């Protein structure tokens, strides 16, 4: 059985939608990225911005697990999608 290729941009957009559905989570995200909601709307299709969305989501295992569960995907697909977006190949030294 061949596994379907991950669409990184779609996963990023769905992660943004997932955050937006929770006002508290979206508030934390906006505070971290320093953007307002209009900027988020404007950059929602920007692969670099979507990489940041996934970076933010991946700061907490619980968030990744909740998102993956809501989307019906394996949690590892989130990090795989992140690796496909700009900046995803940058090593995390922390």
Q: How far apart are CA 79 and CA 38, in angstroms?
A: 27
Predicted pLDDT of residue 9 = 95
Instruction: State pLDDT tens for residues 9-29.
Output: 999 999 999 999 999 999 999
Which three-class secondary structure state does DSSP give residue 39? helix
Q: How far apart are CA 43 and CA 27, in angstroms?
A: 17
Count the Cβ atoms, other than its own, within 10 Å of residue 9: 16
Mean pLDDT of the residues in the chain:
88
Look at the block and give the residue holding tokens 């943004």.
16
Predicted pLDDT of residue 88 = 73
């Amino acid at each position: 059985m061949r596994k379907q290729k991950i669409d990184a941009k779609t996963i990023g957009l769905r992660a943004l939608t997932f955050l937006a559905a929770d006002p508290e989570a979206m508030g934390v995200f906006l505070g971290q990225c320093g953007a307002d909601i209009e900027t988020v709307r404007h950059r929602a299709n920007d692969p670099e911005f979507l990489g940041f969305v996934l970076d933010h989501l991946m700061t907490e295992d619980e968030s990744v697990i909740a998102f993956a569960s809501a989307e019906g995907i394996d949690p590892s697909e989130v990090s795989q999608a992140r690796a496909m977006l700009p900046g995803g190949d940058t090593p995390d030294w922390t």
